[in-house]
Amino acid sequence: MVNLIIFGAPGSGKGTYASRLKERLNVEVIATGDLFREMIKLDTPLGRKVKEYVEKGLLVPDDITLEVLKENLAKIPKGKGFILDGYPRTIWQAQSLEEIAKIDAVIHLVVPDWIIIKRLSSRRICQNCGAIYNLIFLKPKRDMICDKCGGPLYQRSDDTAEVIKKRIEVYEKQTQPLLNYYRGKGVPFVEAKCEKLETPPEVVVEEILKGLKKLNIA
């Protein structure tokens, strides 16, 4: 059983790599962004609160995020680990997490800004099933139509170059103290670099697994 946190700027590939590591490491992936989007879609009272913050590009308050996290950690079968994507985002959240679970390692994705901007501004998502495409290296067979369900594809409002740059700046400002916090606590790090736009996800996943094996936790 292994408990991991994956850190990386928006568009660095956290979701893509985590979904592949899920199978290889037999863990659950808890992505707070996906959980928030689902809550907003279901239009729950908590979802409406979350929506107010998400639409303004602000962090969802710590207490709400922790409540959502606890609920989802409780659903993980006993003896099975997890990868956290999008949590913690503040030192308070990191300290709260320590009271709930032990973190074995931090995966840190290092990707140049220009790759992130190119990737995200080319991303398209199916309105029906949520399948993700990329107009550069993962095009749908028919223009703007989902291969899986035939639904229409759309571009997220925060996937434009201008907004992406702002999101990267916010991420770096918020995340550096967290990286320092975990280093200060002696939590092992696995750094995975991606320096080419066309690097296949499998290459980065293998690099991460190699790093985890060196730490004897995979």
Residue 123 is among the residues annotated as catalytic for this protein: yes
Q: Which of 14, 20, 119, 124 is catalytic?
A: 14
**Strand 123-126 relative to strand 132-134, pairing:** antiparallel
Q: What whole-number distance in Å separates Cα of residue 165 and Cα of residue 147?
A: 30
DSSP string, 71-135: HHHTTSPTT-EEEEES---SHHHHHHHHTT----EEEEEE--HHHHHHHHHTEEEETTT--EEET
Residue pair 131/19 in contact (Cβ under 8 Å)? The answer is: no
Q: Which of 20, 89, 119, 124 is catalytic?
A: 89
Q: Which of 37, 49, 123, 139 is catalytic?
A: 123
Residue 183 is among the residues annotated as catalytic for this protein: no
Residue 124 is among the residues annotated as catalytic for this protein: no
Q: Which of 24, 41, 156, 213 is catalytic?
A: 156
Which contacts qualify for 95-104: CB closer than 8 Å, 24 or more apart? 96/62, 96/66, 97/69, 100/69, 100/70, 100/73, 101/3, 101/73, 102/3, 103/3, 103/4, 103/5, 103/182, 103/187, 104/2, 104/3, 104/4, 104/187, 104/188, 104/215, 104/217
The packing angle between helices 32-42 and 45-55, to 10°, is 120
Residue 89 is among the residues annotated as catalytic for this protein: yes
Please state the φ and ψ torsions of residue 104, each to the nearest 5 degrees.
-85, -35
Active-site residue set: 14, 89, 123, 156, 167
